[in-house]
């Protein structure tokens, strides 16, 4: 169980770090680049967690977390792509932040694992 817990914490920490980097962008170009990189990093964290597998008792929760991470990575990456499309340049003008439904799903999956005894923090709001 300890190895699985370490894998979950690693996936969570990698995701949180990638999202935090997005918020520190100093320009629109840097924001888009960091969003694209975050999408890749979050998807990689999901893939690593899936490849590692989970003890039988956590298989369902692991699948939910992997799917939520993959979806969040996809959301972030696709948003970066959309910002670059003609007509969407002002997508973030006046925005106070981005809200991804799959961020909530990741936290729900993490909370479920916490309830089952895995010591992991939820994703921080950024």
User: pLDDT of 22-36, one tens digit each?
Assistant: 989 898 889 889 999
**Whole-number mean pLDDT of the chain?**
89
Q: What is the gyration radius of the CA atoms in the chain, in angstroms?
A: 15
Predicted local distance difference test score (pLDDT) of residue 100: 75
pLDDT per residue as tens digits for the range 44-60: 999 999 999 999 999 99
Count the helices and strands in the chain (H runs, E runs): 4, 0
25 CB neighbour count, 10 Å cutoff: 14
What mean pLDDT is predicted for residues 90-116?
A: 79
The pTM score is 0.89
CB 68: neighbour CB atoms within 10 A?
A: 23
CA 98 from chain centre, in angstroms, equals 13
Give yes or no for residue 93 having a pLDDT over 90.
Answer: no
């Amino acid at each position: 169980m300890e190895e699985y817990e370490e894998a979950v914490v690693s996936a969570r920490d990698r995701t949180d770090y990638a999202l935090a980097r997005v918020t520190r962008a100093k320009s629109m170009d840097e924001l888009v680049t960091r969003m694209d990189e975050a999408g890749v990093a979050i998807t990689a964290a999901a893939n690593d967690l899936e490849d590692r597998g989970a003890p039988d008792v956590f298989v369902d929760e692991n699948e939910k977390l992997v799917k939520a991470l993959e979806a969040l990575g996809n959301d972030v990456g696709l948003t970066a792509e959309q910002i670059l499309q003609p007509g969407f340049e002002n997508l973030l003008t006046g925005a106070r932040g981005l809200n991804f439904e799959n961020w909530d799903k990741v936290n729900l999956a993490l909370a479920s694992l916490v309830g089952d005894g895995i010591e992991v923090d939820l994703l921080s709001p950024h």
